[in-house]
Structure 1
Amino acid sequence: MKKKAVPKSPPKKSSPKKPAVTKGVGAKRTESAAAIVEELRKLGSQSTKNTLMKHGAREPFFGTKIQDMKPIQKRIKKDYQLALDLYATGISDAMYLAGLIADEMQMTKADLETWLKGAYWYMLSEYTVPWVAAEGPHGWALALKWIESKDEKTAAAGWTTLSNLIAVKPDDELDFAAFLKLLQRVQKTIHQQPNRVRAAMNMFVISCGGYSQPLTEKAQAIAKAIGIVEVDMGDTSCKTPFAPEYIAKMHARGTLGKKKKTCRC
């Protein structure tokens, strides 16, 4: 007599594993742009607003000090979409914070072009946007495009992007022949450029001389040939650095050729 087959018990269903939530890049978002904007609003002050308005800031903004943004930056680390959302508010404080938390490797050329278009004063167009561009994969191409623009803001952003590139990229990733040509271009044209472009070109010479030793000698010679660069800083106490002295000070400090870990601050 054949034995009856004993039916097998159905396999136990295993509970699906919960996806791990990592901090920083790629982390699950837990904060909204609206909540952070409200946090920035509470951190703002009228005295800081008054100072920033002398530099070109305009409403809407809260006057939040950069040092007060740092804990928020530390908490969020990097968040691509949140950075886009903050920048899109048009609120200067939020736009600046967006640059601090942007994931530069996810930022597309279109994102950076949009950011530059919306950057209505130099703290955004010459700091926030160039910082993120220089640390990402599109900095070189966009910088070369932007410096050809007839628009003062765009051209200045291009030169400051180049300055940041040379400050953070290893020398073996730099095209020295191209940088030498750019230095020669600055020498020939800087005094005929619009105000903010003159300022950006001057900093480009300093960056070449200070952050890449193979370019130091040439940059220093060009800085001396250029001489004093006149830049209208408006109703502020800011002064245009004299490139030969600035490069010499970096040499005296022993920091020539020392790269930055990040442009953003």
Structure 2
Amino acid sequence: MTVEEILEKLEALGNEKLRLQNKKHGADDNQFGVKMGDIRTLAKPIKADNELAKALWKTGNMEARLVAILVTNPKKLPPAELEEMVQSGRIPQIADWLNSYIVKNHPAKESFREKWMNSKNTWAARAGWSLTSGRIAREPEGLDIPALLNRIESEMAKAAPEVQWTMNSALAQIGIYFPAHRKRAIAIGEKLGIYRDYPTSKDCTSPFAPIWINEMSKRLGKA
């Protein structure tokens, strides 16, 4: 399919109610309001095509960018292009899909993780802390956990909301997977109070770090 054909299909799948809902969650007017499941269905028959993905990304359209993410082969994506995509994510949904499908599978992810954690670009910093959160849970060897806690304690309160989300995830992962640092992680969460009053449905775990840490530690048998 061409870029034009994909945009036509996305527009036909659009829903005004969902479009308005997306705007409340950070999207701009360059979107159609397409369900995530419909975007996946549209992208599924398209083979990995980085050139098509690049063209879709350039449209700036939210759903076209989500399709672009799904049809990108991370291993063939030049590092400079990845960094440009990350820095121009602009919408949480795009940033999260980008991190899940491309960033964490890119060969240069570790060098970018260290670089982005110190970036002044909001979306790059969000991605850097997201990668760090993943490493804490799955590949913590070599990480300086006390230093990470120091940074979180001193920086998270002043960080942009988009960055706070992934820094908070890193804090929770430390508390869950490192019992020796759990008490301090919980204390930092209590001190900062970020997401203390976050609305959470009954079947979900609160993102407030002390609650998240205690509940997941019990669930994983790490209490």
TM interval, shorter chain, is 0.7 to 0.9
Q: Who is 1:128 aligned against?
A: 97
User: How far apart are the structure 1 equivalents of 2:66 and 2:196?
Assistant: 24
Q: 1:229 aligns with which of 191, 194, 202?
A: 194
Q: 1:70 aligns with which of 17, 25, 40?
A: 40
Q: Which has the higher helix share?
A: 2
Q: Who is 2:77 aligned against?
A: 107
The alpha-carbon deviation at position 75 of structure 1 amounts to 2.1
SS in 2 for 1:116: helix
Consecutive unaligned residues of structure 1, counting only runs of 5 or more, are: 1-30, 257-265
* TM-score, with length taken from structure 1: 0.69
Q: 2:170 aligns with which of 173, 184, 204?
A: 204
Q: 1:247 aligns with which of 205, 208, 213?
A: 213
Instruction: Give RMSD over aligned pairs.
Output: 2.9
User: How far apart are the structure 2 equivalents of 1:141 and 1:219?
Assistant: 28
Q: Please tell me whether residue 160 in structure 1 is matched to residue 105 in structure 2.
A: no
The alpha-carbon deviation at position 209 of structure 1 amounts to 4.5
The amino acid of 1:130's aligned partner reads N
Larger radius of gyration: 1
The amino acid of 2:24's aligned partner reads K
SS in 2 for 1:176: coil
Q: Who is 1:37 aligned against?
A: 7
SS in 1 for 2:45: helix
Change (3 A) 1:118 1:160: same
The alpha-carbon deviation at position 61 of structure 1 amounts to 0.8
Deviations 1:13-59 (A, max 9, x none): xxxxxxxxxxxxxxxxxx22222222111111001101010111112
SS in 2 for 1:105: helix
Q: 2:87 aligns with which of 117, 138, 145?
A: 117
Alpha-carbon contact 1:196-1:231 (below 8 Å) kept: no
User: How far apart are the structure 1 equivalents of 2:195 and 2:106?
Assistant: 32
* TM-score, with length taken from structure 2: 0.81
Alpha-carbon contact 2:168-2:209 (below 8 Å) kept: yes
The alpha-carbon deviation at position 135 of structure 1 amounts to 1.5
The alpha-carbon deviation at position 231 of structure 1 amounts to 9.1
Q: Please tell me whether residue 56 in structure 1 is matched to residue 19 in structure 2.
A: no
| Paired residues, number | 215
User: How far apart are the structure 2 equivalents of 1:185 and 1:53?
Assistant: 32
Alpha-carbon contact 1:208-1:219 (below 8 Å) kept: yes
Change (3 A) 1:247 1:226: closer
The share of aligned pairs that are identical, in percent, is: 26
Change (3 A) 1:252 1:100: farther
Q: Which has the higher contact order (CA 8 A, sep 6+)?
A: 1
Q: 1:218 aligns with which of 181, 185, 192?
A: 181
The alpha-carbon deviation at position 241 of structure 1 amounts to 0.9
The alpha-carbon deviation at position 206 of structure 1 amounts to 2.5
User: How far apart are the structure 2 equivalents of 1:196 and 1:231?
Assistant: 16
Within a 5 Å distance, the mapping from 1:129-208 to structure 2 comes to: 129-131=98-100, 132-166=102-136, 170-171=138-139, 174-208=140-174
Is the deviation greater in 244-253 or in 142-151? 244-253
Change (3 A) 1:83 1:74: same
User: How far apart are the structure 2 equivalents of 1:106 and 1:230?
Assistant: 38
